[in-house]
Structure 1
Amino acid sequence: MKLHVRVLFKHDENDRLIAVNQWNGGIVPRFFLGRTQQGAIWRFHARLPQTLMDELSSLCQEETADPFTEPKHKASYLALLNAHAPDGQVWQGPAYACFQKPALSGQTAAITGENKHLLEGGLEDWLADIPYWQPFMASLEDNKAVAVCASVRTFGGAYEAGVETLAAYRQKGHAAHAVSAWANSLLAQNSLPLYSTSWENKASQAIARKHGFEFYGSDFHIS
């Protein structure tokens, strides 16, 4: 989990969150809580008041080591952060890691600057990411990319997956094809594939389980 949070966010010298760990930025949560069966870790946005961080830390120390349940003090975290700034947005979900190469399936391709035209027809928003999010794999149909899995964040030899499937091609296995190719590419270079999603996204969780990704904890953060 400590590696996972480093993959997700850039930290300052005091282990406080200062930026999303990707080339094009993003919204940094004010509060992050990660839980595994070994315990919990937590991080705060660098701009949070020290008194608020102290209050939140006190509650975090009482958290249960059960990543399958909601945080013990979820309501209190929300109340404290909403008092600081209203309408805090909650995100929570499982986190997985892959240690063995999953079976390859479907027709896939590694996307580079040389074949970026494969993203045309619906996945053009990913074009600017190609130089930064390698390895970058796609599932193909009719010689075009219909699903992608790319390394949206990385730190210390670990890589976080980002996945998208064109609406017309969902529930046909294309995301699974791209994810398996991506994980294989990373494991071949002795890197660690990480995959996280929301508790509501059952299809995404099914992809992780199908390809042997191991559940190791859960994320909870408030922006």
Structure 2
Amino acid sequence: MKSELHLMEMHSKVLFKHNEKGKITHINEPPYDIAPRFYIGSTREGNVIKYLDCLNEEDLSILEKVLNENSSVPFVNILQILSKNNQIDDLWIGPAYVFEQVSEVSPRAVKINNSNKQCLLPNFPYTYDELELKEPCYAIIENNIAVSICCSARQTDEASEASVYTLEDFRGKEYGVIVSKAWAADIQSQGRIALYSTSWDNYASQAVARKLKLVHYGTDIHFS
């Protein structure tokens, strides 16, 4: 398996579009909103730090100084620096996981393509509209309608990030686990890394990660 720091670097490239200088510009997912002003991917081996390309030079210089002087993430200092000229509208913190090699896939997970994607329309119209960008996509289908899906939220040539959702009436049946394993196995068969991340307050998503026995390699921190 890749090192934690390498995984986090790959993860940051899946999450955001970068310019030629390595700064982040936009979220790597339609409608391609502007990236957060500052991002830290924290691991036990070190941090992956990304700055928004239009962050002013004064804030950039102060942030770099503060980060160099602290071994842990100095949240209060970062918030003070970034909120000096512009309000912080959102602070995202959550775990980042990687799938180990998937060996078994349930036949209940159906791969979605142009021939059967109509099953997505009732409950997952956005996935239907953007299927080409979100492939591979796997679903549990009941009465010809998808009730649980896992697809690619964001991806690069090296890695892909899972997006999994099960309708409330169908939870508790391991459907999220089934489709996630099928998705991850497909990604791995392409020679790519299957990733999964969520926020600390998304308990349902973290429960799926536990059931999948994913490896927790780091923490995402976004300041927007």
- Shared fold, TM over 0.5: yes
- Name the aligned partner's letter for residue 174 of structure 1: Y
SS in 1 for 2:134: coil
- Name the aligned partner's letter for residue 17 of structure 2: K
Is contact 1:81–1:88 with CA below 8 Å preserved after alignment?
no
SS in 2 for 1:84: coil
- Name the aligned partner's letter for residue 206 of structure 1: A
Percent pairwise identity: 33
Q: What do residues 115-174 of structure 1 show as CA deviations (whole Å, max 9, x unaligned)?
A: 111113221121111011111111222332111111121123200111222232233322
The 1:35/1:62 distance shift into structure 2, 3 A limit, reads: farther
Instruction: Map residues 136-175 of structure 1 onto 2, 5 A cutoff.
Output: 136-175=137-176
What is aligned with 2:31?
24
Is contact 1:31–1:44 with CA below 8 Å preserved after alignment?
yes
TM-score by length of 2: 0.89
Distance 1:156 1:121 in 2: 31
Structure 1: runs of 5+ lacking an equivalent: 65-70
The 1:73/1:119 distance shift into structure 2, 3 A limit, reads: same
Shift of 1:62: 4.2
* Number of aligned positions between the proteins: 217
Structure 2: runs of 5+ lacking an equivalent: 1-7
Is contact 1:102–1:183 with CA below 8 Å preserved after alignment?
no
Aligned-residue CA RMSD (Å):
1.8
User: Residue 113 in 1 paired to residue 120 in 2?
Assistant: no
The 1:127/1:36 distance shift into structure 2, 3 A limit, reads: same
Distance 1:27 1:13 in 2: 17
Instruction: Map residues 1-12 of structure 1 onto 2, 5 A cutoff.
Output: 1-12=8-19
Distance 1:106 1:55 in 2: 54
Shift of 1:46: 0.6
Instruction: Map residues 37-186 of structure 1 onto 2, 5 A cutoff.
Output: 37-64=44-71, 72-101=73-102, 103-105=104-106, 107-186=108-187
Shift of 1:203: 2.3
TM-score by length of 1: 0.90
